Amino acid sequence: MGFSERLSQAMKLAGYTQGRLAKDVGMAQSSVNKLLKDANGSRKTVEIASVLGVRPEWLSTGEGDMGAGSLREPNALYQVKASANGIYRVDVLDVKASAGPGSLVTSDFIETIRAIEYTTEQARALFGNRPAHHVKVITVNGDSMDGTISPGDQIFVDTGITHFDGDGVYVFVFGKTLHVKRLQMQRDRLAVISDNPIYEKWYVESGR
């Protein structure tokens, strides 16, 4: 199954038309149509995967599970809740996660630059049952995840995940630096992987 077939499958499961996906991702409908014909990938793979509720690596390569964890799984404890005016608000933080050697964390206080507001229906499609206070937006700095995440991209982060929960892309602090990397458990140590092949893999040993 190629990229176009995976995209078509994800759109059908999420109930998305070409027009709706184009609008939510911020691209022309003709571009979505081209992706569905015979495409090998897209620079907007992460955004498309986020909207459709699938894992970016699955959409890009077909590897791993299709679903994005609890993104589309019902959870009685975390139903999407809007404020009284029906708005689901996501904070955009003044912080950059490094897709490179690491961004120094200089303060325990992180400022909110602005907020993005969604209707309850939009929020459920994007974030499933995650509560708004768990979802944040940060900016990616560096090119070590290029091919999956480009320098300057803004990404959604589920801050409710505070431990390794299976192979995937994580934002995490190691030492005093903030990273966005692919993590993979290899025996008794955690491999920290960059999707850009010019960067070497490194490891976090058990107990660190």
pLDDT digits (tens, 9 = 90+) for 64-80: 777 654 333 333 223 34
pLDDT digits (tens, 9 = 90+) for 128-171: 878 888 888 888 888 999 888 888 888 888 888 888 888 888 99
At a CB cut-off of 8 Å and minimum separation 6, what does 148 contact? 45, 46, 56, 57, 60, 169, 182, 195
Split into its structural domains, the chain has a count of: 2
Q: Are residues 57 and 106 in the same domain?
A: no
Query: Residue 116 is part of which domain span?
Result: 101-204
CATH assignment at residue 151: 2.10.109.10
CB atoms within 10 A of CB 191: 16
Task: Label the pairing between strands 189-193 and 177-186.
Answer: antiparallel
Q: Are residues 184 and 133 in the same domain?
A: yes
Give pLDDT, residue 110: 67
Give pLDDT, residue 73: 33
Distance CA 24, CA 10 (A): 15
Give pLDDT, residue 125: 80
Distance CA 152, CA 158 (A): 19
Q: Are residues 118 and 183 in the same domain?
A: yes
Give pLDDT, residue 4: 92
Give pLDDT, residue 101: 58
pLDDT-derived band at 85, boundaries 50, 70, 90 = low
CATH assignment at residue 10: 1.10.260.40
Q: Are residues 21 and 116 in the same domain?
A: no
Q: Are residues 111 and 52 in the same domain?
A: no
Q: Are residues 109 and 174 in the same domain?
A: yes
| Tokens 């986020």 -> residue | 50
Residue 106 has pLDDT above 70, yes or no: no
CB of 129 closer than 8 Å to CB of 80:
yes
200 falls within a domain? yes
Distance CA 203, CA 108 (A): 25
pLDDT digits (tens, 9 = 90+) for 3-14: 999 998 888 877
75 falls within a domain? no
Which is nearest to 10 in space by CA: 42, 55, 44, 41? 55
